[in-house]
Structures are given as structure tokens and as C-alpha cells.
Structure 1
């Protein structure tokens, strides 16, 4: 059964900022991804048997300069593994957009995406973080960690804006978090998976080889990027919404110094923040989980309101059955661009793919899209089963769906 959630940007942001003020303000809101997300913890009502895991602030992080945008210490949520999973680890990097201007970063540091002062004191662990075998067959008894995201540059920035007291310390947060978890027992891991969703999915790509390098060669270490395959695509007005925004993130937050030199020696640093220019050169085994018509990219990168001032795409965004032939072709062209971006990546036997033809965003964190009777499938294989089969080398997984509208198992998002 399909489930839906309305993203109502205007209602969410009305108390924050007047969207009618200027186009640059709207672009900042895009960067922050502050619209309601079905991944947000408050959007999920914990059940009576939910696993609620407390927040831990990283001790000593502040003295290392590993701080959130506002200078507060970063944090994580950690649930110990047990039994056969006692020495296996899942590290999940939280997502939540980016900030690309001083103004948007100043705003962001007043939220949980920029300050640990505003983070939830406990989070519900579901999907890939669940501790129930019927919900998470591959990783339920592993050590499971969710690293909170409070830097606004996919754990990759390095800099400081003194005038506005903004700390761009994503790379240091990553390092401090890994050091902390190694001290908690991860150094003894025989198996480890770095995962992430959205901006966290991009971070898992950026840090994948670093993660593998933490362990001896005998440790099976792999990476999973969920909804992190952001494309340098053209929007409906012919512009490059995401490229323009990523340029601000990379420049403002000093990200370029932490990007792979194999890419920056050949391309502009902004282009090296796009996974399509990175994934083929990652040495560590990686799995890309992505909706072919990623709902966030459709709404915020391909068809942002600023690129559709007359609302010609509104009906199509709300209901794909109301899209005309040329609009459907636009979506299919985006899917083709995604498949082209992973063509070389997919040729490696060590890598895995699950690209379903859904209008979704992040499918590993919540139970309905991770592993339930009606969860999304490609070739009759659910997301959790595909990733588990790949991690344990049971079979090669290169699951690519047929084009929309063939997939009847999607849990699509409806945008308003």
C-alpha cells in the first residue's frame, strides 16, 4: 500500500522568513532543505515498542575545533550490538541539506542542523538502524550509530567566519566522530558499513575511502549512499540550480581542500562535490541506493519554484498523471542522466546498485521503504535484501528498474 506525505514549504517556513522578499532568499532556503521531510524524526510517531536512543555529545571535540556551525559540540546516537553482531558496525551519517551563504548558515545555526543545543535528546532507530530481525535482517544486532549533521557541508568543510562566528568544521566533526567510535570498540570491528542519507549520502561517498582506511585489511568495510547521487542537472528553465548552490557551499565552507585531488586536479572544485564525478574513482566497495526520479531533486533542483514562476509544472509535480508528454520526457531524461552517471561505477564487481523508478528520497531510514511486506522492490527484491546480499557477497546486485510508470511497489512522495 502506498503512503504519502505532503511537503508544504510555505506553511513550514512562514514563521522563518518571507519567501516573497527576494530570489536569493529562496535559493538559500533550497540550500537548507528546511521544508518538511518524511525523514524528520518528528514526522514519525514512535510506537510503544520503538527503540529510542539517547544523544551523546563527543567529549573533547570542542578543544579540537570539531564543532557545529555555532561552536557547540557535535553528537551521535549509539546502540550496542549483541551476539554475532557484537563486533560489526553500521555508521549512518545524518542528512539535511546544506547552507551556501552567510545568511543561510547564520539561520541554520539556530536549528538542530547547525547546533547541538537544538538536537533531539533521543531518536527512534528504524530501518537500517532497527534492532529487530524482522525489520532489519542483515544488521539488527550490529553496533548501530547515527552521527548528527550540524555543519551544512556534508561533513566536509574547513574554515571560520569570524564576523558571524560561523564554524565550518565538517571535516573535523567527521574525524572526531570516527576517533570517538574507534575508542568505543569500532577499532575491533570485523565488519563495518558506512551509510548516509541525502546530504549524509553524499558524505558517505566523500568519506568512503577514509572510512576503509581506519581498519586493517582483514576488516570487511563497505559504504552505502542512500539518495546521495545528486546530479549536475539542468532545471526546467535551463539553469543549474544545484551547481549554483553547491558552488556557494564549496567556496564559503572551504570544502575544496577536502575534495579528492584526483578530481580537483582536473575539474572545478564545485564539480568535484557532485557524486557523478567521484564514484568511479572510489576504491572501497560501495552501494548506491537511489530513486531514479529523486523527489528532492525533482522538487528543489529540477523544478524549483524560481524556475517555474508561472506554475506550468505545478500540476505535474503534484500528480504525475497530469504530466504531458514533454514533461514525462524531461523526467526520463533525468533518469537517463543518472544511469549514465553510474555506468562506469556499475562495471566493478565490488559495487552495487538499486535504482528504482520511484519519486522518493531516502529509502533506508524508515521501515516502510527499508523492509516490510509492501516495501519497494526491484526484481522482487526489497531494498534491505538487496543491500544485505551485496554486503555479504551472496550475489552481485545491479538492480535497475524499468522506466516510470512500470514500478507498482513505489512509496512515492507527493509534493504540493
Structure 2
């Protein structure tokens, strides 16, 4: 009886220790050196920043650079709103913990746990594409995202990334879009012999009509490109043919990306549904409010329209192509950013597609163990999904 009790408590202790490890380790904030002399600064003029956790063992020459997300600012007012927050100033940033794709624990991140892992903070509001020399003294806003990206990469190369054998550029949301837009330029920085690939998460924003028939998000992106001076830093394969504002949408860029890329996204991405497909401007009567909080509340007509959105998303996604170098994990979960949280990246009970977790699918694809190119069935078909359910106070609609 006593030995059974001891065994019970030992098992509980092991569980607690595993949970503590899953919480992630604190990684200090690093400010980019001499960034001001290069004009590579956040919206408020402060130096950009990142967090770096050094690799170990067999991962010492492998690198994963993960870009933080956080939307965009499209005019002076919205950029000023970000200026005194972590999304516009390193003065408000602090140390963070690494989880999931950045975890240093093998049981939570089996293929990349011992790599050099970096999280680049996002403080420019343009997915690192902006570059305007002039600074209005009235607002003191600096639009220098492209310079930030270059300065951070330069510092990481000096810290050892120039010797990388394997490397991944990844990111979530606006950071996922950064990953797509900078994928080829990231590869070009590294040794030609290096195995370099890109893994954007929740960054495949699509150009579709909203429920009112308008292309409201296309206009939003047009304003982002205009105020940040982004056109010259977007892929020329796209801007030489299309309006630069369209080149902020991955569907017009994806077919020209030569670097292997793996798209992680929900076909029912809650941010896209709430801000691109059903923005508040297209729903003045607020008839979609309950549906957007929880897809289980959607009426049959609303659910039918959401299936139409999924079809449009799949058409836009077809531009990625289906070669073995191009992978995708497109689930039917009401989710946004699934590589950054442990429960959706790799854990008992994580959502599955073709019987694989995201971590397993990405790892198998990266190391060439097996390709992965799967799109889920229609909502609510996947019982393993971690579907987001919002409270009224926390729905982040525009």
C-alpha cells in the first residue's frame, strides 16, 4: 500500500515537472547593436530587438528564425496607436518564454529543440517591408521595416548563422506574411550548401470579397504599402506585373518563391474570417457577431458562406503548387497561429491531419522523410481540432 502511494506521488511529480518544462524557459531581450546609425528602428525610433536561445549538441549549426506577428498599421492614426506599445517600440518589450516550435525540450519540439532559436520582435507595422527616409517631426514615426529585417539578419549572421547547415524562416500572422515575402531573400543570405526552408503560419491572407461584395482588405493593404513605402521591397516578380498592394497578398507571390516552403494555416482562420471575410464594416447589423465568437453558433446560411470562403482560400492556396518541396498543413480548425502554442504544435491531444501533428508534418517535410500536402475536410469534420471560442470582450475584430 505504501509503495503504491509513493509511486502515485512520484508519477504526479513527473507530471508537474513536465508541465513546468512545457511552460518554456525565459529568453532575454537583445537590442540590435548600432541600429540607429543604419536607420533601422522601430516606429518610435527605438532599436529593434530579438530573443536568442543558443543551440546545442547536434543542433549547434542549425537555425530557426521566427517572426512575431501583430497586424499592420495603415495610416498615421493607427501607427501612432502602436508607437507606445510593444508593436511599435522596444522600450516596452521584455523577456519572453519560448514554446512549441521554439521550445528547447525534445518532448515538445522533437525535430528542432536543439537548434539556435530566435524570435524577432515586430515593431514596424509593415511585415518588415517599409522604408521611408523622411521622418515627420510632428509624429516622429519611422517607417523602416525593411531596414530592421536586414539589421537583425546581419547580427544573426555574425552570431553564427553564416555557418548554418540547416535553417528555417518562420513566423505567425503578420510574421507569417513576413516569412512569405522574405523567404527567398532569407535563403540568399545563407551558404549555398545550407538546407534552407520557410514555414509561414497563419500568414496566407487571401484577397477575397467580403460578405458585402467589397474588397475592403485590398484597400487596407494599399494604404499599408503607401504609408510605409513598401513597394520597392516587395518581390519584383510580382510588382513588375501587378499593383504593389496586391503583392502583399501571398496568392500573387507564392508561385514565384523558389525556396522550399511549408504553409501552416487554418482554412477557417478566425482572424481572416473576422477581418477580411466578415469585417464589421460589412456587417452593420452585427448579425455575424455570435457566429464569429463561436462557429457552432453559425446559422446554416452563415456556415454555407464560410464553406464558400474555404473554397476561395483553397483556390488562392493553389498558387503554392504541389511539388514535394512545397508542403502544407491546412486544417479545418477555427484557429489562428498554431506553431506557437504547445497544444496545437505538438502535445498529446494536438489536432491531426492525415494522422500527423503539425510538428511531425513539418519535421518530416523539412528532413525529407516524407512529403506532406494536405487540406482538411469542411468544418466541423475534424474532431481533433482546438476550435477558438471567444468571449465578447476578447474578439479582436477591426
TM-score normalised over the length of structure 1: 0.87
Correspondence 1:301 to 2:270:
no
Richer in helix (by share) = 2
Provide the C-alpha distance between the structure 2 equivalents of 1:49 and 1:165, rounded to a whole number of angstroms. Answer: 38
Name the residue aligned to 1:341.
316
Partner SS, residue 108 of structure 2: coil
Name the residue aligned to 1:189.
164
TM superposition shift of 1:47: 7.0
Provide the C-alpha distance between the structure 1 equivalents of 2:264 and 2:169, rounded to a whole number of angstroms. Answer: 13
Conserved? CA contact 1:352–1:397, under 8 Å: yes
Conserved? CA contact 2:22–2:108, under 8 Å: no
TM superposition shift of 1:305: 2.1
Name the residue aligned to 1:36.
none
Conserved? CA contact 2:23–2:99, under 8 Å: no
Conserved? CA contact 1:94–1:197, under 8 Å: yes
Alignment partner of 1:404 out of 379, 386, 389 = 379
Conserved? CA contact 2:353–2:374, under 8 Å: yes
Name the residue aligned to 1:113.
87
Name the residue aligned to 2:33.
59
Provide the C-alpha distance between the structure 2 equivalents of 1:270 and 1:73, rounded to a whole number of angstroms. Answer: 28
Deviations 1:128-148 (A, max 9, x none): 000000000010000000000
1:234–1:161: structure 2 CA closer, same or farther, 3 Å change rule? farther
TM-score normalised over the length of structure 2: 0.91
Name the residue aligned to 1:91.
65
Report the structure number with the largest CA radius of gyration. 2
Q: What is the correspondence of 1:118-157 to structure 2 with a 5 Å cutoff?
A: 118-119=92-93, 121-157=94-130
TM superposition shift of 1:165: 1.4
Deviations 1:86-139 (A, max 9, x none): 0000000110010000011112111110000011x2111001000000000010
Name the residue aligned to 1:15.
none
Q: Which stretch shifts more, 258-267 or 287-296?
A: 258-267
Provide the C-alpha distance between the structure 2 equivalents of 1:224 and 1:105, rounded to a whole number of angstroms. Answer: 28
Name the residue aligned to 2:188.
213
Conserved? CA contact 2:74–2:223, under 8 Å: yes
TM superposition shift of 1:278: 0.6
Provide the C-alpha distance between the structure 2 equivalents of 1:100 and 1:174, rounded to a whole number of angstroms. Answer: 19
Provide the C-alpha distance between the structure 2 equivalents of 1:138 and 1:371, rounded to a whole number of angstroms. Answer: 11
Q: What is the correspondence of 1:329-368 to structure 2 with a 5 Å cutoff?
A: 329-368=304-343
**Aligned-residue CA RMSD (Å):** 1.4
Conserved? CA contact 1:46–1:124, under 8 Å: no
Name the residue aligned to 2:8.
none
Q: What is the correspondence of 1:200-279 to structure 2 with a 5 Å cutoff?
A: 200-279=175-254
Conserved? CA contact 2:202–2:269, under 8 Å: yes
Conserved? CA contact 2:163–2:191, under 8 Å: no
1:49–1:352: structure 2 CA closer, same or farther, 3 Å change rule? closer
